[in-house]
Amino acid sequence: MELSRELSPAPCARSDRFLIKMASHGAALSVSKMISPFWGGRLGNTMKVFGTTLTSHRNKSLHTPPPAKYGGRHTVTLIPGDGIGPELLNHVREVFRFSCVPVDFEVVHVNSDVQTEEDINNAITAIRRNGVALKGNIETKHTMPPSVKSRNNLLRTSLDLYANVMHCQSLPGVQTRHKNIDIMIIRENTEGEYSSLEHESVSGVVESLKIITRNNSLRIADYAFRLAREKGRRRVTAVHKANIMKLGDGLFLQCCREVASGYPDITFDSMIVDNTTMQLVSKPQQFDVMVMPNLYGNVVSNVCAGLVGGPGLVPGANYGRDYAVFETATRNTGKSIAGRNIANPTAMLLASCMMLDHLQLYDHASSIRNAVLTTMNETRLHTADIGGQGTTSEVVQSVMRVIQSKGQLTSEL
């Protein structure tokens, strides 16, 4: 059994070796479906709702392996951000400390009030060093001059985190109008309408450049199809507006078609973005995997988050060839609810679980994820954004109690 990692792990659980062995067969199977029966008995029904994100260990893997462990512990960059970011990330650290997760956080603050890029450059360097980051949203103040770019955007483009992945699933414990939603959204994360290229050649007439390149379109389409195959998904839908932006979105669509031809087992279709949003609010169950350029990705992500219960519930991940950054899927700062202990910690906790999966700490990821979902679906302890009256700390305490009750090693409650 050959592994592409340099270091082999310290005594790992029997379960880890089983998973590695299966992955190294390179089979294009839905690995999450395979492990369900294995984990099912231990973790109950909530496990079936959220399968783990497994990565293959070969060179064709979608996600790069995490950097070598040092003393058995990983170092992850943590960017608290603004608004509710700092308090939610504190809760993540609390849960990690409680569960004895072998992760140390290197905290890098980014001040959104200053115009220099020193802070964000420090953050980028830290992420290059550690390979993985967990972040809150950094506010982009409208009062700043236009030359001051969005810090979040700078981070994504500098690290070339080209794929933004969001998995929207209906949660049984949350009241929503539509049920049985299970959509994966893959959004191109570096170009498109977010190129920050605007000019005003004539006063009062602004031109913005939307950049679509063949390279990046092929890259994101390839990512989408490989992810679809890895997860055993049947259909990929490209979202575009090529009837109007014939060259830009036309190129994107063309690239998707080219990549699709290499995956005959997966159905490919396309839909215009305005029709897509209409279909999403009336019949969201028809969608499986969706791939799209940057701006439409922003719109569709937000709509889907709203459909499953709101921005407090869905985690998001940004993947590049060499780095991965995890955050909440809808990148809100939540300024109006900051510091009031009412924010929903679910999205950030689930994002931290995605990060743990990326670091191949699958046991810890499952344990925390299961506890969060149990609190959501069985205990039904909800924060205000999903109609409950619980505080953030009450939800976090409940999560830790569930973890403790499963009998794993924990520190003091």
Partner 1 sequence: PAGASRSTPSNTPTSCGCHGCMVQDPTQFDVLVMPNLYGDILSDLCAGLIGGLGVTPSGNIGANGVAIFESVHGTAPDIAGLDMANPTALLLSAVMMLRHMGLHDHGNKIQTACFDTIRDKKVLTKDLGGNSKCSEFTAEICRRIQDLD
Q: Can you give the binding site for partner 1, defined by CB under 8 A? A: 241, 273-275, 277-282, 295, 299, 302-303, 305-307, 310-311, 330, 332
- Comparing CB distances to partner 1, the nearer of 203 and 282 is 282
In angstroms, the Cα distances linking 271 to 52, 211, 296, 313 are 29, 20, 12, 26
Question: Residue 68 Cβ, how far from partner 1 at the closest point, in Å?
Answer: 39
The residue among 67 and 311 lying less far from partner 1, judged by its C-beta, is 311
| Closer residue to partner 1 (CB): 14 or 177 | 177
The whole-angstrom separation of Cα 331 and Cα 315 is 10
62 vs 245 by CB, closer to partner 1: 245
CA 247, CA 262: separation in Å to the nearest integer?
A: 23
Q: How would you write 314-359 as a 3-class SS string?
A: CEEEEECCCCEEEEECCCCCCHHHCCCCCCCCHHHHHHHHHHHHHC
Q: Residues 6 or more apart from 328 whose CB is under 8 A from it?
A: 136, 137, 311, 312, 314, 315, 316, 347, 348, 351
Query: Least distance to partner 1 from the beta carbon of 294, Å?
Result: 13
Which tokens belong to 310?
């709101």
The H helix count followed by the E strand count for the chain is 13, 12
Least Cβ distance, residue 352 to partner 1 (angstroms): 22
Amino acid at 204: G
Give the gyration radius of the chain's Cα atoms.
21
- Give the strands of the sheet with 324-328, arranged side by side: 103-107, 74-79, 132-135, 324-328, 315-319, 163-169, 182-188, 289-292, 235-240, 267-272
Helix (H) or strand (E) holding 165: strand 163-169
User: Which C-beta is closer to partner 1: that of 251 or that of 273?
Assistant: 273
Q: List beta partners, residue 315.
A: 328
**Nearer CB in complex with partner 1: 22/295:** 295
Could you give the CA distance from residue 334 to residue 312 in angstroms, rounded to a whole number? 10
CB of 275 or CB of 408, closer to partner 1: 275
Smallest separation (angstroms) from partner 1 to the CB of 327: 16
State the nearest-atom distance from the C-beta of 249 to partner 1, in Å: 11
CB of 305 to partner 1, least distance (A): 5
Q: How far is CA 183 from the centre of its chain?
A: 13
Q: Which C-beta is closer to partner 1: that of 35 or that of 307?
A: 307
Q: How far is the CB of 170 from partner 1 (least distance, A)?
A: 13
Give kind and range of the element (H or E) at residue 184: strand 182-188
Q: Closest distance between partner 1 and the C-beta of residue 335, in Å?
A: 12
Residue 299 Cβ vs partner 1, minimum distance, rounded to whole Å? 5
**Which residue's CB is nearer to partner 1, number 27 or number 278?**
278
